[in-house]
Amino acid sequence: MALNFSSSDSAGYYRYRCRNFYTHNCGNWVWMNNSACAECVVRSPPPPPIAKPGVLPFLYTKFKG
């Protein structure tokens, strides 16, 4: 028995629009809902560093002694 898939069949997988479809007019498709495509991931700036919880930045000064 041969399986013939037409172009509309996706073998049980859904395609979703890129997360940036409306905000950046991206026309790419992804396999996971609410995720960005590879092109948007490459073009996006790196996220800011996240501070560890419970650790506060301290300023250390040198004293002349």
**Which 3-state string (H, E, C) describes 21-51?**
CCCCCCCCEECCCCCCCHHHHHHCCCCCCCC
Q: Is the pLDDT of residue 1 over 50?
A: no
Residues 6+ apart with CB under 8 A from 2: none
pLDDT tens for 18-36 read 999 998 899 999 999 999 9
The answer to pTM > 0.75 is no
Task: Kindly report, residue by residue over 48-57, the tens digit of the pLDDT.
Answer: 777 666 655 5
Q: Is residue 17 over pLDDT 90? A: yes
Count how many residues are written for the chain: 65
- Domain residue limits, the chain: 12-42
Residues above pLDDT 90, as percent of the chain: 40
Query: Six-digit token pair at 34?
Result: 């609410």
